[in-house]
Chains A and B, each alone.
Chain A
Amino acid sequence: MDIIDLKIKATQIRMDLLRMIHRAKAGHTGGSLSNTDILTALYYRVMRINPADPKWPDRDRFIASKGHAVESLWCILADLGFFPKEELDTFCQFGTRLIGHPNNKVPGVEMNTGALGHGLSIAVGMALAAKRDGRDYRVFCLMGDGEQAEGSVWEAAMAGAHYGLDNLVGIIDRNGLQISGPTEDVMAIEPLDAKWEAFGWHVVSVDGHDMDALVSVLESAPEARGKPTLVLARTVKARGVSFAENVPGWHHKVPNDEELRRALAELAAYEELLQREGGRARA
């Protein structure tokens, strides 16, 4: 998918997830909007996947270690045809498999996540299996920035470097906010780049909403042979909805009718702009 189409897709996914959260009256709005561009780049361009064969042994793997920001993932998997789009209506409803965290009963989801600090260890195991079996798939693991306070993240970081897993890409959705406020007030985690470099990773910093840059960084990983890559994606929590951006309360606030209307209007206007730009580019 072209960059302009990826931007349009990400905008549509944002609208889908806001409608879904509004309908369900539940969801992690801020985090899902901050990781939407990253997931769109991965699922529509970077990763080698086949929605018709979710267990294809040579597929690239995605592990959502920050499992709470699942809404963008559900909307993307439905859009790609891993499951019927109508099922999004069941999000967080009684008996659904589309719960508030990734659930491996849903095609396209590798592992149940939700407890922070687990994903990177799992991704290390998957990348190690690929190395031992001589397979060439890559493993992408998306972490939160608040999650960096979990000690187990650093256990996994050591192992990834120790085994030289250059088929492993860790991504940090660095939106700067966690549930109680700014990460640096809750538990200071900076300097993140120096920390990951010291742990033996190849660190690349990128604007997590610049689709062009994101695609280029994710597609070219691994750039350093014998080293895992850490993509430090600088993002804005609740990106795309002006009145929610960077407001800690939107970590898991649900939009009311008026807020949904305003958010969708903003995103629709942005999509129209992108469509015009795309039309010009194609002409």
Chain B
Amino acid sequence: MMSTIPNRQMICETLMELAKDDRDIMVLASDSRGSALMGPFARAYPEQFVEVGIAEQNIVGIAAGLAHSGKKPFVTSPACFLSMRSIEQIKVDAAYSQTNVKLVGISGGISYGALGMSHHSLQDIAVMRAIPGIAVILPADRHETKRMTEALVRHEGPVYIRVGRNPVEDVYDEADDGEFVIGKAVTMREGGDLAIIAAGETVRVALDTEALLREMGVSCRVLNMHTIKPLDAEAVLRAARETGRIITVEEHSVHGGLGAAVAETVIQHHPVPMRIFGIPDEPAIAGKTAEVFRHYGISAETIADAALRLIGRKR
């Protein structure tokens, strides 16, 4: 079902619910309460909201200081700035000092499609993944975002979360109340001919690809790797062993992201043929998410075609 609620809004709604009983939950914004859809939280909980202005280095340092004092700060700032402008504060004040800071990169990937490379965050996962001591999570839809936010409030330690700007089609049923476990992939579809591993908004693309392949008689496993770090290596290697072929799909540079994380695991422990779908090493073309995805082959048709070649049904 096409949702009208973007994941960023779901984070706000869930935090507002939890903040009723938890005065330590705090939300920080860098003149971004509008783009983070955090206005309602700021109005409802002014004592638990901190505006820092357009100062991404400062927002992470302040959050680290709040966390050190027992608060549970959620920094909400555009992923493009948060992941680059404040990377040293993230490395030192959040990861190295191990403060309980949740860094929510909003409007991530190519959400700001037409605004150009300055506003795209297509290297954030690569950068975060290389820093020891910080988890990296991309929720797929609003339902998963809600369960993730609940899990994050309980989780002690720094985490980088990336969500997109626009509403995304549901990948889970409303009734699905499976637990969100950080570091544990979700098997969305079982299958034995190949596995598609995706994260965030590309989980929808992976599921559409699976549907297309199923019509052609191909049995495709779909893993939702919502936590890219720590990677669920067990699920990856099971997929490698049981299906023999892996395709990864991500809204990120093909360098250093989900595909790289999966490849690092597979190549060392159970090498199988792989294809990595993502944004190539160039300033991404302008356009809406669907248009940009299609341009770079992040679509069910193109990925299904690659799958058929991978299993030898097409040359």
Contact = CB atoms under 8 A, between A and B. Distances in A.
Given A155-B58, A156-B58, A158-B55, A118 B66 contact: no
Interface residues of A, number: 30
A151 B60 CA distance: 14
B62 interface: yes
B65 interface: yes
B66 A121 contact: no
B3 interface: no
A136 to B, nearest CB: 13
Contact of A159 (B62, B73, B93): B62
B66 A156 contact: no
Contacts of A118: 61, 88-89, 92-93
A121 B68 contact: no
A121 B92 contact: no
A265 interface: no
Interface stretch (B10-18, B45-53, B124-132, B156-164): B45-53
B96 A112 contact: yes
Contacts of B97: 104, 111-112
Contacts of A112: 92-93, 96-97
Q: Helix, strand, loop or mixed for chain A's interface?
A: helix
Interface string A163-179: 00000000000000000
Given A114-B92, A128-B62, A121 B57 contact: yes
B68 A125 contact: yes
Query: Which of A112, A125, A132 neighbours the largest number of chain B CB atoms within 10 Å of its CB?
Result: A125
A124 B61 contact: yes
Interface of B: 47-48, 50, 52-53, 55, 57-58, 60-71, 73, 88-89, 92-93, 96-99
Interface of A: 57, 104, 110-115, 117-118, 120-130, 132-133, 151-152, 155-156, 158-159, 162
24 contacts: A57-B70, A104-B97, A112-B93, A114-B92, A121-B58, A122-B61, A122-B65, A125-B66, A125-B68, A126-B65, A126-B68, A127-B65, A128-B50, A128-B62, A129-B65, A129-B66, A129-B69, A129-B70, A132-B71, A151-B57, A152-B55, A152-B89, A156-B61, A158-B53
